[in-house]
Amino acid sequence: MADNISLIVGLGNPGPEYENTRHNAGFWLVETLARQNGIRLSPDRKFHGLVGKGRIGQQECWLLMPSTFMNRSGLAVQALASFYRLTPANILVVHDELDLPPGTARFKTGGGHGGQNGLRDIISQLGNNKDFHRLRIGIGHPGDKNLVTGHVLGKASVADDKVIRAAIDEACAVLPEALKGNMGAAMNRLHSFKG
Give SS3 for 52: strand
Q: What angle in degrees, to the nearest 10, is found between the helix axes of 158-180 and 25-37?
A: 60
Residues 6+ apart with CB under 8 A from 184: none
Give SS3 for 170: helix
Q: Are 13 and 23 in contact (CB under 8 A)?
A: yes
Q: Is 23 a catalytic residue?
A: yes
DSSP 80-144: HHHHTT--GGGEEEEEEETTS-TT-EEEEES---TT-HHHHHHHHHTTS---SEEEEEE----SS
The annotated binding site is made up of 18, 69, 71, 117
The annotated binding site for tRNA is made up of 18, 69, 71, 117
Residues 6+ apart with CB under 8 A from 104: 138, 167, 193, 194, 195
The span from the CA of 132 to the CA of 93, in Å, is: 7
Which amino acids are annotated catalytic?
A: 23
